[in-house]
Structure 1
């Protein structure tokens, strides 16, 4: 089984969460590939068993500009056989906490087998690390 972990990060928070997930998957029978969205060949996504999207939220609940091509691809491509998850980081200071996660839900529910979402405030703490095994269990069940 293979997983593609696709992320973007501006402050390092999202990258840190995705690295934690990558390390946890590496301890399982799933082979993970951690890829920054700018380096992703979208056509390779059809070859994965799992896709995990990791994004920060820009402004007031917006998807970052660099994630929009992935959002559009996932909105138009049938990957219903691929189990997926969405992970996001954000700041509760803003009215729409981790809004980019919520915006990714609809296309990923329609075009993939969306299993789980995870929202993390700022840099991941121990309580966030503790959620990663549950995220993986939800994704792989």
Structure 2
């Protein structure tokens, strides 16, 4: 089984709720995942995992949360060739750039050599209705796409 990690930042609980639902989906699919708040880990930890999920809310008009800044910069030192990755996060459509932090994380993972195996998941504020199941499906699909053959 692939070794998976999910690292996220959440201010109001929206991205945290997404993370919990995604983890639930991973577990439903038989996967095991390490979950960390971004402020509690270093970027070099990503090298120890086969599958990487990063989640963040967007701050201001398209910025990474302060908690993600050091981690994001430290990713410049990593070679993530062979790693499978996906990104997710919450945003607010009142801003011109909806959930731009998700795009920034995806761009950095690709720049460092990771393969994006799912389309980014972006939600308006917190998951509701069908979005809750979509988050669980995101987790299940991540497991299905990272299984070592």
> Given the two structures, how large is their TM-score scaled by the length of structure 2?
0.86
Trace 1:61-140 onto structure 2 (pairs within 5 A).
61-111=62-112, 112-116=114-118, 117-132=120-135, 133-134=137-138, 136-137=140-141, 140=144
Native 8 Å contact 2:25 2:138 kept in 1 = no
Q: What SS class does the counterpart of residue 56 from structure 1 fall into?
A: coil
Q: Which consecutive unaligned segments of at least 5 residues does structure 1 have?
A: none
Paired residues, number: 141
Q: CA deviation at 1:136?
A: 3.9
| RMSD (CA atoms) | 1.7
Distance in 2 between the 1:75 and 1:125 partners? 35
48-57 or 98-107: bigger deviation: 98-107
Give the C-alpha shift of residue 127 in structure 1: 2.3
Question: 1:121: Cα distance to partner?
Answer: 0.5
Instruction: Give the TM-score normalised by the residue count of structure 1.
Output: 0.90
2:60 alignment partner in structure 1: 59
Structure 1 pair 36/15, CA: closer, same or farther in 2 (3 Å)?
A: same
CA separation in 1, counterparts of 2:138 and 2:25?
11
Matches of 1:138 and 1:32, distance apart in 2: 11
The Cα of 1:25 is off from its aligned counterpart by 0.8
Confirm or deny: 8 A CA contact 2:18 2:127 kept in the other structure. yes
Q: Would the aligned equivalents of 1:83 and 1:139 in 2 still touch at CA under 8 Å?
A: no
Q: Tell me, yes or no, if the aligned pair for 2:23 and 2:139 is still in contact at 8 Å.
A: no
- Report how far residue 44 of structure 1 moved: 2.4
